[in-house]
Structure formats: C-alpha cells, structure tokens
Amino acid sequence: MKTRVFQDASQLGAAAAKVGAEAIRHAIAQRGAASIIVATGASQFATLASLVKEPDIDWSQVTGFHLDEYLGIGDQHPASFCRYLKERFVQHVPLKAFHYVDGTADDPAEVCRQLGQLIEAYPIDVAFVGIGENGHLAFNDPPADFATETPYLVVELDQACRQQQAGEGWFATIDDVPTQAISMSCRQIMKSKTIVCSVPDSRKAEAVRNSLEGPVTENVPASILQQHNETYLFLDQASASLLSSSS
C-alpha cells in the first residue's frame, strides 16, 4: 500500500484521479480496453470531478462496474448511488458500458448472480473506492466476509454505517436509511490490478488509522487493503491526523 497525504480534499482528488487515469490509459494501450469499478459517497466527490476531466482517455473502450447500492432505493431518490453515478460520472464520459446495481429488483440474489457472472469476464484494471467511518470497504461492514469469492453479496448495514449515511445528509434520519444493500465483496475488490482509495475528512481519521496501522482483520474491513501491493491511499491532513507517520 502506498499512502500520500495532501492539504485538502481537492488536492487529494486531483492526485487520485491522475493515478487512476494513468492505469486506465495503460490498460487501453496494452490490450485495447479497460475495466473499472466506481464508488460513490462524499469521499469520491473530488476524485470523480477530476477523473472526468483527465485528458487522453478513450472512454469508449472503458467498461464500468458499480460498487454497491441500497436495497429498495430507486434512482429518483436523492441517496441513490445509481443516480449519483449517472450525475457525477457516467453522463460526463462516453463509456463503452456501465453496469449498475439494481437495488429495486424483486430478487436481489439474482441481481448478485447476474452481476457476478458478468464481472468475472472482465479483468478489473482500477477500483476507485473509499473507507467508511466504521472501516467498511464498499458496504462490507464489520465483521466483513474475507473468505467468500462471490463477487456481489446482499449485506446487512450496521448502525454506524447507517448513521454515517444520515450524518452526510443523504437521508433525513437514520430510520430512513435502508438496513440492507448489495455490495461487491472484499475479495472481488482485491482482484483489481490497481486500487485507488480516496479518504478525506476528519470523520475518517480513526478508520484510516485502524486500516493502515492495525492488524488485517474482518473487524476493520478496509485493513485487507494492506495485502494489495498496488493500493494507492489518498488522504488529506484531516483524515491522516491520527497516523503515527505519513508519507
């Protein structure tokens, strides 16, 4: 894992986008196509805003995969991750394809099966992810399942995760936050050649410290990133404030 600390979220996002963009360009140059995973949430605002402005990317050769989505939330809801991705990413670049997670389907297990079958046919070049206040990776809340090779799972959202969503203003109250979601599994994320992890804000400082400086444990899901040599962790001064050292 390679860690870089910046003054603020804007600088963090610009640097993260450059690393991700270079990995996309390299994949297209090597095999004529690239596949990426795209996360959502407040932590990704600056990264995605910079990524869509990166030059010299043939987006028509890029296939995207959605990281996670609430169950029971349609794309008209302000908290919908499908809506977020359309507005902040997909509408800005002419992708070859983007595969969303449908949280409104009658059979979530079938959604997981279909997406899992699809993503297995694509080598993932770059995963853009974040770390939750409770240390979650995607919607894999603690204790996460580090063993499963299943690409997508139906997961339960814990209290801390749901509180974060309400605290960021996506929902009026915690009672409005769904209790379940479809999430890409930790092992599927770890199959990505490059992982670009953007984590601004002091709210994430404890989770960042636990993920970087503590043991690799299912109780801190993002700690699994320690085992991926091509993970680039981008922090700002606030999110890095509890680290014993930074680089």
Residue 244 lies in a domain: no
Residue 242 lies in a domain: no
Phi, then psi, of 63 in degrees rounded to 5:
-110, 130
Residue 243 lies in a domain: no
Residue 213 lies in a domain: yes
Residue 228 lies in a domain: yes
Residue 163 lies in a domain: yes
Residue 169 lies in a domain: yes
List, in order, residues 6 or more apart from 98 with CB less than 8 Å away.
63, 64, 65, 66, 85, 90
How far, CA to CA in Å, does 219 sit from each of 162, 182, 185, 202, 203? 17, 19, 15, 20, 18
Residue 87 lies in a domain: yes
Structural domain for 81, as ranges = 2-236
How many whole angstroms separate alpha carbon 111 and alpha carbon 97? 17
pLDDT digit string (tens) for the chain, length 247 residues = 999 999 999 999 999 999 999 999 999 999 999 999 999 999 999 999 999 999 999 999 999 999 999 999 999 999 999 999 999 999 999 999 999 999 999 999 999 999 999 999 999 999 999 999 999 999 999 999 999 999 999 999 999 999 999 999 999 999 999 999 999 999 999 999 999 999 999 999 999 999 999 999 999 999 999 999 999 999 999 999 999 964 4
- Per the structure, the count of domains in the chain is 1
Q: What is the CATH number of the domain that holds 115?
A: 3.40.50.1360
Q: pTM of the prediction?
A: 0.95
